[in-house]
Amino acid sequence: MKILMILFGLLISQAIGVSAADSSFTQADRDRMTRLEVKLEEGLKAVNQRIDTINQRLDDNLKAINQRFDAINQRLDDYRGLMYVILSGMFVLVGFILWDRRTTLAPVVRTTREIEARTEKLEIVLKETAEKYPELKEALKQAGLL
């Protein structure tokens, strides 16, 4: 602060044309400089207080923003977990459907094969019997079995 006062004194002395060697610096000039110094100090204190309040408000706002980001991140984590649960449920459902289809179709396929085998045997028997009975042979021809 003293450096500031010395510089300010030099500036004023140069502005009014007083050299450092000139001792015409009066007591009134010194009092005026002291008052200016006090006003400057008060002004600097006020500016520093304003800067401190602005810094405090900025810190508070940054804390609030960080809390909001934390809340958003928490929500995203919750949604991600929910998405994993839904996807795993879908995979389990598809697996169950495939397993159920296989177990449901197995008896149908087995029954169909048995019916086809019996039908083939019946056709053979009918063809052999049709050789003995001409009316049966004619009926099988009309049905397209011979």
Classify residue 19 as left (phi > 0), alpha (psi -120 to 50) or beta: beta
Whole-structure pTM value: 0.44
The 10s digit of each residue's pLDDT in 23-54 is 577 888 888 999 999 999 999 999 999 999 99
**13: pLDDT strictly greater than 60:** yes
**CA pair distance 69, 114, nearest whole angstrom:** 67
The pLDDT score that the predictor gives to residue 146 is 75
Provide the residue ranges of all domains of the chain, joining segments of one domain with +.
2-143
Nearest-5° Cα angle at 29, 26 to 30: 90
> What band does 4 get if pLDDT is binned at 50, 70 and 90?
low
What's the pLDDT at 74? 96
Q: Give the per-residue pLDDT at 15.
A: 63
Instruction: List the single range of 2-16, 62-76, 105-119 with lowest mean pLDDT.
Output: 2-16
Contact status, residue 2 vs residue 8, Cβ threshold 8 Å: no
